[in-house]
Structure 1
Amino acid sequence: MVVGMNDVQPPARRSDATRAGILRAARARFAADGYQRATIRAIAADAGIDPSMVMRYYGNKAQLFAAAVDVDLRIPDVARVPRDRLGETLVAHFIRRWEGDPADDALLTLLRSAATDESVAERLRGIFREQVAPVALAVTADPAEAALRAGLVATSMLGLALCRQILMLPPIVAAAPDVLVVQVGATVQRYLTGPLGGVLP
C-alpha cells in the first residue's frame, strides 16, 4: 500500500492538534470539576493521551489552567458605538460570547472556579481590569472614576452569566436575549455614562 502525502500529518500539525485536544479536554474538565478537583490524569484520559503528554506540552496543572482560560473578551471598538448605545452593545456582545461560541466556556470556567480559588479569582479580576476598564476610560479620563464604572459594569456582566449560565435561574434562562439586552443594557449604560453619587475614593 502506498501512503499518500495527505495521509500522514507533519509533526508540527500533529503537535498543534495534540495541544488543541488537550485544551478542549482541560476546558471541559475544569468547567465540570473546578480547578481544585480537576486532575491531569482525568484531562489526559478525556483527551485520549498519556498524562505525560499533558505535562510535556503544559508543564503542570497551573500552567495548563492558565492556557485553558486565556480569555480575550474581544470587546467591540467603543469608538464606533454611539455613546447612548454602549450598554446594549456590551450586553449583546457578552450574551453572544457565552451562548454562541463553545470556546468561550473558558470565561464561565473562570467564574465557576473563582469562588473557591484565589489565583483563579485574580485571573478573572485581571481580565476585567485589563479589558473592560478601557471601555470606561473612553467615557471618562479620570482613572478612579473609570475603575469604578468598569467595576460596576463587571457586576452586571458577571451577575448575568452567573444567573443564566451557572445557577440557571429559570426566569433569566427563559428570558429572550433581546429582553436582556434592553433591560440589563439600560443598567450598564447608566453605570458607564450616568452620574455617580457620593464621593469617589
Structure 2
Amino acid sequence: MTDATPGPVRRSDATKATILAAARAQFAASGYQSTTIRSVATAAGIDPSMVMRYFGNKEGLFAAAADFDLRLPDLAGVPRAGLGPALVSHFLDRWEGDETLMALLRTASTNEAAAARMQTLFATQMAPLIARLSGDARAGAAARAGLIASQVLGLALCRYVLKLPPVVALKRAEIVRRIGATVQSYLFDA
C-alpha cells in the first residue's frame, strides 16, 4: 500500500509542474487578460478540468505561476562603488532568464492582484537588502527600494515588453553603467 502512494503523488507533482510551466509561458507571452484556462491546458497537453482541479480558477493559477523569488545576490564582497551596477546586472539576468517575472510585470499593469504581488515582492525582498547595503533605517530603505524598483521595472518595461528600439539597442555594459549610476545614487544619495 505504501508503494502505491508515491506514484500518483509524483504524477500529480509532474502534472502541476507542467501546468505551471505552460501558465508562465502563456502569461508572459499574452498577459493576464488574454491567457485562458483553456489555452494553458492546451499548451500543457491536458484537459482544462485538470487546471481547475489543481488551481481552482485563473486567479489561483496566476498566483501559483507568479510565485517568484528575485534571487537577490549576496553583495558582501562587492565594493561600495559597484553596488548599483551589480544590482542592475543582476536584474538584467533575472529579466532575461525567467519569464515569470516578465509575466508578473505585464499583468501588474492591468490586474490589481498582480500589482499587489509585485509590490509585496519588492517590499519583502528588496527593501531588506537595501537596508543592509545603505545602512538606512527601514522607512528610508523602503523609499530607496521603491526608487530602485522604478528604475529596474521601467527598464524591463521599455526593453522587454514595449521593446523601444533605442532601449533594446543599448549594449548591456552601457545599461549597467548608466542605470547602475542612478541606482547607486538611490542607494547612497550620491
Partner of 2:3: none
CA distance in 2, matches of 1:135, 1:185: 16
1:1-201 mapped onto 2 (5 Å cutoff): 10-99=7-96, 101=97, 104-138=98-132, 139-194=134-189
SS state of the match for residue 79, structure 1? coil
RMSD of aligned residue pairs (Cα, Å): 1.6
The number of residues matched between the two structures is: 184
- Contact 1:87-1:192 within 8 A present in 2 as well: yes
Residue 37 of structure 1: CA displacement?
Answer: 3.0
- Contact 1:78-1:135 within 8 A present in 2 as well: no
Aligned-residue sequence identity (percent) comes to 57
Q: Deviation per CA, 1:113-157, whole angstroms, max 9, x where unpaired?
A: 111111111111110111110122111241221111111100111
SS state of the match for residue 94, structure 2? helix
Q: Deviation per CA, 1:91-120, whole angstroms, max 9, x where unpaired?
A: 011111122x2xx21111111111111111
Q: Deviation per CA, 1:155-178, whole angstroms, max 9, x where unpaired?
A: 111011011100101111111111
Residue 40 of structure 1: CA displacement?
Answer: 1.1
- Contact 1:25-1:46 within 8 A present in 2 as well: yes
CA distance in 2, matches of 1:32, 1:161: 15
TM-score normalised by the chain length of structure 2: 0.91
SS state of the match for residue 127, structure 1? helix
**Corresponding letter in the other structure for 1:182:** R
- Contact 1:89-1:185 within 8 A present in 2 as well: yes
**Corresponding letter in the other structure for 1:172:** V
Gaps of 5+ in 2: 1-5
**Corresponding letter in the other structure for 1:67:** A
CA distance in 1, matches of 2:76, 2:60: 35
CA distance in 2, matches of 1:183, 1:33: 30
